[in-house]
Structure 1
Amino acid sequence: MKLSGGCHCGAVTFELESKAPYPYMRCYCSICRKIGGSGGYAINLMADAGSLMVRGAETKGVYNAVIDGNTSPAERHFCKSCGSHLWVWDPRWPELIHPHAGAVDSPLPTPPETVHIMLAFKPDWITVPDGPGHVHFQNYPDKSIEDWHRSKGLFEA
């Protein structure tokens, strides 16, 4: 599926291809919470890094979070004009890019369930839905984004 998106001010836009476009996983870690800023979590998708086309790249900045005193190699790309976070790219998995669902303008499919991850880092003020259709993990889930899509028959060939 082709995904198109960009920042709030329009200085940076992007297009890329995703075989796993369902925005099903909400991450509550401090990095996602603070840079994503929406509902106390961030939702990342998975796409093909080789398909990324960017307009306005000169306006884009990169943030590498510090985790336990070490700088993460994961690059969190954002617009330097309006501050919108756009995607995460990590050199440990160079073939993948993870656009933020909130930066995608294309209509996204509705996921059959919501997976809540990194709940060990969630502040008390955030209420996490429970019950049918909601799966919880204190840390990372047992399936990758691709594995989850495949297990649900949603991975696009």
Structure 2
Amino acid sequence: MHLEGSCQCGAVRFSLESDSPYPFMHCHCSICRKTGGGGGYGINLGGDASTLRVRGKTHVGRFHAVIREPGKRPVRSKAFRHFCVKCGSPLWLWDPRWPELVHPNASAIDTPLPKPPEVIEAALDYAAPWVDVPRGKGHRHARTWPAESLREWHERHGLLG
């Protein structure tokens, strides 16, 4: 599926091809909450990094988030989180450990995305106490991260494009 995305102010526009375009996971970790404003969900879409095309590259910043887990020393993530330096919109995540993949933030995609048949509410051990986590049909809960990958989830549901 061809995806088009942009930041809120329009300084950055991007496109890419995705074989896993269903926003399957809501991550409740502090990184996604703080960098995405609650619903940014950094890794719930997958795309082919070789197809990523960016207009407005001079307005793209990137950083390594700090992973803070109870009882462990903070560590910098190897992943680069890209954002618009003019308006702060989160755009995509890229990790050198999986260079062929890019993960656009669903909130930055302008193309209508398909509604997932199931959503994984992930990283609930790290959710803010004020978050009302959806429950019931169509929502699976994971205390940390799901055992299956984004690709495996799409395969299980017969949605891999």
* TM exceeding 0.5: yes
Asked if 1:11 is matched to 2:16, the reply is no
Q: Equivalent residue for 1:25?
A: 25
Q: Equivalent residue for 1:99?
A: 104
Instruction: Work out the number of aligned pairs and report it.
Output: 155
Q: Equivalent residue for 1:111?
A: 116
Cα distance in 1, alignment partners of residues 149 and 35 from structure 2: 22
- Percent identity between the aligned chains? 53
Further displaced range: 128-137 or 64-73: 64-73
* Equivalences for residues 58-77 of structure 1 within 5 A: 58-67=58-67, 68-77=73-82
CA contact (8 A) 2:32 2:38 kept: no
Q: Equivalent residue for 1:42?
A: 41
Q: Give TM-score scaled by structure 1 length.
A: 0.95
Cα distance in 1, alignment partners of residues 110 and 66 from structure 2: 29
* Equivalences for residues 120-139 of structure 1 within 5 A: 120-139=125-144
SS of the residue 1:54 aligns to: strand
Q: Give TM-score scaled by structure 2 length.
A: 0.93
Structure 2 spans left out of the alignment, 5+ residues? 68-72
Query: Hey, which bits of structure 1, 4+ residues long, moved more than 4 A?
Result: none
Structure 1 spans left out of the alignment, 5+ residues? none
TM-aligned CA deviation for residue 66 of structure 1: 1.7
RMSD between aligned residues? 1.1
TM-aligned CA deviation for residue 71 of structure 1: 1.8
Q: Deviations over 1:14-64 (max 9, x none)?
A: 00000000012000011001001135x625310000000000001100011
Asked if 1:54 is matched to 2:59, the reply is no
Cα distance in 2, alignment partners of residues 130 and 148 from structure 1: 19
